[in-house]
């Protein structure tokens, strides 16, 4: 079997049979001429299917170790589609520090359709087992989580959930890890969801999402909804994600190398009280992370003295780390989750520490990144 580095460049892709173009063409078309009434060449209308999108979907499926991939217009559109395959009265068990937008969608929208959500600490196997119910249909794991970088044991959780009821889908949001670092389907999960906006795209130039599932029946239901509801990405965005994926392994290795050094620096800084990085020995699940992931990834969070004011001051005084939401691009970003990405969890059990700062460590030279953090932590 081909290695990941080779697959990330070639999976699902071949030179264009018409011209020999090495890169996948951007089929910027909404419709396709038919040879006779009802006789088409595999594509009828671009909501239903587009050749550039098909290549991306096959590439993503292959990278996650399945045949069934679907691309969406955002990570949230992918998550929304996965919830819409449920019936009123179904129960979903969700990790208690998932991305704020996921929590907002579940609570503000789907609860009123009588889908029941409960939130547990998925790093504790016993808590997950004791919270399963006869009507549980999905268990949602984010690992590492956004923004606290908690790690849940995909293999053990998949086993205990399937022992309880084989029909429950274990869903893993693999956005932070990417398939290069972590292969949830091989560890027993049923479905992987992505915001391709982040590391897969890798250049902060598109918003996109994806679902890869193991089970044909689930895939067909999701595929029906993708066409019926239409939250599809355009061909240009699909091309950009395909291009981003080609350098995913090289980028992820450098992101992790830089993030590990930033973590070491933060640990030595007197203003910093806590640092979260999955591969650091101080992380409560560092051993599990090292078993489950190829490296620690590019995200680092930390708490510093001075609470919200301290966090705001640091986030507003870095120069290379840009103050912005999102993550996973080549450039370093800094943000304050309680006020920015996770504002929708305020006053909820999922609320994050107002003094928490989140870094998406980019690919700039490590000396420049550390100097930037040093000067921002020095200004009070
Ligand atoms: C872990 C995670 N899942 C899903 C999403 C949602 O993706 P999108 O912003 O592409 O809709 C995000 C966005 O930040 C995220 O961090």
In tens, the pLDDT along 42-92 reads: 999 999 999 999 999 999 999 999 999 999 999 999 999 999 999 999 999
pTM to 2 decimals? 0.97
**Residue 5 DSSP one-character state:** H
Catalytic residue chosen out of the listed positions 7, 137, 198, 358? 198
Mean pLDDT rounded to a whole number for the chain: 96
- Place 348 in a pLDDT band, splitting at 50, 70 and 90: confident
Among left, alpha and beta (phi > 0; psi -120 to 50; other), residue 102 is alpha
- Place 352 in a pLDDT band, splitting at 50, 70 and 90: confident
Query: Which of 152, 197, 298, 335 is the pocket-test mutation for ligand 1 (most atoms within 8 Å of CB)?
Result: 197
Question: How many C-beta neighbours within 10 Å does residue 142 have?
Answer: 25
State the distance from the centre of ligand 1 to the C-alpha of 195, rounded, in angstroms.
Answer: 5
State the distance from the centre of ligand 1 to the C-alpha of 73, rounded, in angstroms.
Answer: 12
Among left, alpha and beta (phi > 0; psi -120 to 50; other), residue 23 is beta
- How does pLDDT run across 237-287, given as a tens digit for each residue? 999 999 999 999 999 999 999 999 999 999 999 999 999 999 999 999 999
Whether 271 is a known active-site residue: answer no
The helix or strand, by DSSP H or E, that contains position 331, with its residue range, turns out to be none
Between strands 356-360 and 91-95, the pairing is unpaired
Between strands 169-173 and 136-142, the pairing is parallel
Q: Is 197 in the pocket of ligand 1 (CB under 6 A)?
A: yes
pLDDT at residue 347 in the model: 77
- Place 354 in a pLDDT band, splitting at 50, 70 and 90: very high
Q: Helix or strand or coil: residue 169?
A: strand
Residue nearest to atom 6 of ligand 1 (CA): 75
Tokens 């009821």 identify what position? 165
Residue nearest to atom 15 of ligand 1 (CA): 99
- How does pLDDT run across 96-117, given as a tens digit for each residue? 988 989 999 999 999 999 999 9
- How does pLDDT run across 173-221, given as a tens digit for each residue? 999 999 999 999 999 999 999 999 999 999 999 999 999 999 999 999 9
pLDDT at residue 100 in the model: 87
Q: Is 195 in the pocket of ligand 1 (CB under 6 A)?
A: yes
Is 134 a residue whose pLDDT tops 80? yes
Q: Which of 142, 180, 231 is nearest to 60 (CA)?
A: 180
How are strands ordered across the β-sheet holding 322-323? 272-276, 299-304, 356-360, 333-335, 322-323
DSSP per-residue codes, 209-276? EEEEES-HHHHHHHHHHHHHH--PPPHHHHHHHHHHHHTHHHHHHHHHHHHHHHHHHHHH-TTEEEEE
pLDDT at residue 380 in the model: 63
């Amino acid at each position: 079997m081909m290695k990941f580095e080779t697959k990330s460049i070639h999976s699902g892709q071949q030179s264009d049979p018409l011209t020999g173009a090495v890169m996948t063409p951007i089929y910027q078309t909404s419709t396709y001429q038919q040879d006779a009434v009802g006789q088409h060449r595999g594509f009828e209308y671009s909501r239903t299917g587009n050749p550039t999108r098909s290549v991306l979907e096959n590439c993503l499926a292959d990278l996650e170790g399945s045949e069934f991939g679907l691309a969406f217009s955002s990570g949230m559109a992918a998550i929304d589609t996965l919830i819409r395959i449920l019936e009123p009265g179904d129960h979903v068990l969700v990790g208690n520090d998932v991305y704020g937008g996921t929590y907002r969608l579940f609570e503000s929208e789907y609860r009123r359709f009588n889908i029941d959500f409960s939130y547990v600490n998925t790093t504790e196997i016993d808590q997950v087992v004791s919270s399963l119910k006869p009507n549980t249909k999905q268990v949602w794991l984010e690992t590492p989580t956004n923004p606290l970088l908690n790690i849940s044991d995909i293999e053990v959780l998949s086993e205990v959930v399937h022992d309880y009821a084989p029909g429950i889908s274990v869903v893993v949001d693999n956005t932070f890890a990417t398939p290069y670092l972590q292969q949830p389907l091989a560890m027993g999960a049923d479905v992987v969801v992505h915001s391709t906006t982040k590391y897969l795209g890798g250049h902060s130039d598109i918003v996109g999402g994806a679902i890869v599932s193991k089970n044909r029946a689930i895939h067909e239901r999701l595929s029906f909804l993708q066409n019926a509801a239409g939250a599809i990405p355009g061909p240009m965005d699909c091309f950009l994600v395909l291009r981003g994926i080609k350098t995913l392994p090289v980028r992820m290795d450098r992101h992790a190398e830089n993030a590990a050094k930033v973590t070491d620096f933060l640990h030595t800084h007197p203003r910093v009280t806590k640092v979260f990085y999955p591969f650091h020995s101080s992380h409560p699940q560092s051993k599990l992370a090292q078993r489950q992931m190829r490296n620690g990834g590019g995200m680092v969070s930390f708490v510093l003295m001075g609470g919200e004011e301290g966090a705001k001051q640091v986030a507003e005084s870095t120069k290379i780390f840009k103050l912005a939401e999102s993550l996973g691009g080549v450039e370093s970003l800094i943000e304050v989750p309680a006020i920015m990405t996770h504002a929708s969890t305020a006053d909820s059990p999922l609320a994050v520490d107002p003094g928490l700062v989140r870094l998406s460590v980019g690919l700039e030279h490590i000396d420049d990144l550390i100097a930037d953090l040093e000067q921002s932590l020095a200004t009070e």
